[in-house]
A = this chain, B = another copy of it.
Amino acid sequence: MSAVSDRDEDAQDILIRRLQAIDNLTAQDRHLISSLRFDVVDIPPRTDFVREGDRQTKCCLLMDGVVIRSNFTRSGERQIQSVHIPGDVPDLQSLHLRRMDHYIGSVSQCRVAFVAHDQMLRVLRDSPHLTAILWRETLIDAALYRAIIVRNARLGSTERLAHFICEMWCRFDAVGLTDRNGFAFPMTQEMVGQVLGLSIVSVNRSMQILRSDRLVVWDRGRIDILDWTQLAEIAQFDPTFLHLNE
């Protein structure tokens, strides 16, 4: 068995596990997914691999690493719109919205599996059930955006940071990427500022508050949560918005 098809199977497994978490897949669904050809690519850190204005002909399944979706103002400031972790398909929307209105780029070293739109659309044509699941996937993304609008507009800097950490914990945990109380987290404070609409200085000071309150430790690419209850309390964090295990 060639290395390529090994990786194909890896990608299929990841996708199946992800979709399975939303709804049970039928044998036919699985069969359809295993007919997909993936093109697995390693991407170095800090690299935009999808650009604003691009017309996409394929989607990417994130197998390993963290990627961000971002946009820039005229003056060159970056706003990160979403953070994606393994199992996510950050540009699933490009199936029906070909023209990209944002960038997608790696934070850490990433492994990404590309599937041609044609193949995805063929599979979806044959399975209304898979269509519903993937549609739902994009709706959950949208629910996340809505939650971010509220978070960034209504919470103070420390609450905002706490909320982001809660969100990251839940999502990493849902795909089995946590151990004990923590998880590997490759973003810098500056990047988190670009997620939350805060300056790096504010992120730093808010983090110091959470740290001195013994709620969270964030050190050398790793976040550990010391007191989930109180962290979620400060963040006004309601995990249901993630629509994880309905």
**Chain B residues within 8 Å of A206, by CB:** none
12 A-B contact pairs sorted by A residue (CB < 8 Å): A73-B236, A77-B154, A79-B149, A79-B150, A93-B142, A97-B139, A97-B140, A101-B241, A131-B131, A138-B138, A138-B142, A145-B146
What B residues does A146 contact at CB under 8 A?
69, 71, 81-82, 101-102, 145
Given contacts A71-B150, A149-B81, A154-B197, contact A96 B139 (CB under 8 A): yes
Is B197's CB under 8 angstroms from A99's CB? no
CA distance A246 to B97 in the complex (A): 9
Q: How far is the CA of A147 from the CA of B145 in the complex (A)?
A: 10
Tell me if A49 is interfacial: C-beta within 8 Å of chain B: no
Let me know if A41 is at the binding interface, CB within 8 A: no
Question: Given A71-B146, A73-B236, A149-B152, 11 other A-B contacts at CB below 8 A?
Answer: A79-B149, A81-B149, A93-B139, A96-B132, A96-B136, A99-B240, A101-B240, A101-B241, A125-B128, A135-B135, A145-B146
- Which residues of chain A in 222-242 are interfacial with respect to chain B, using CB atoms and an 8 Å cutoff? 236, 240-241
Residue of B nearest to A138 (CB): B139
Copies in the complex: 2
Contacts of A135 in B (CB 8 A): 96, 131, 135, 138
Separation in Å of the A84 CB from the closest CB of chain B? 13
Contact residues in B for A99 (Cβ distance below 8 Å): 240, 243, 246
* Interface membership of A64, Cβ < 8 A: no
* Measured CA separation A139–B135 after assembly (Å): 9
A141 at the interface (CB under 8 A from B): yes
Partner of A142, one of B125, B142, B152, B155: B142
Q: How far is the CA of A150 from the CA of B150 in the complex (A)?
A: 13
A153 within 8 A of B: yes
Q: Complex formed: what's the CA distance from A124 to B236 in Å?
A: 37
Docked Cα-Cα span, A89 to B121, in Å, equals 25
A236 cross-chain contacts in B, Cβ below 8 A = 73-74
Q: Does A143 contact B (CB under 8 A)?
A: yes
In the complex, A151→B100 CA distance in Å?
A: 18
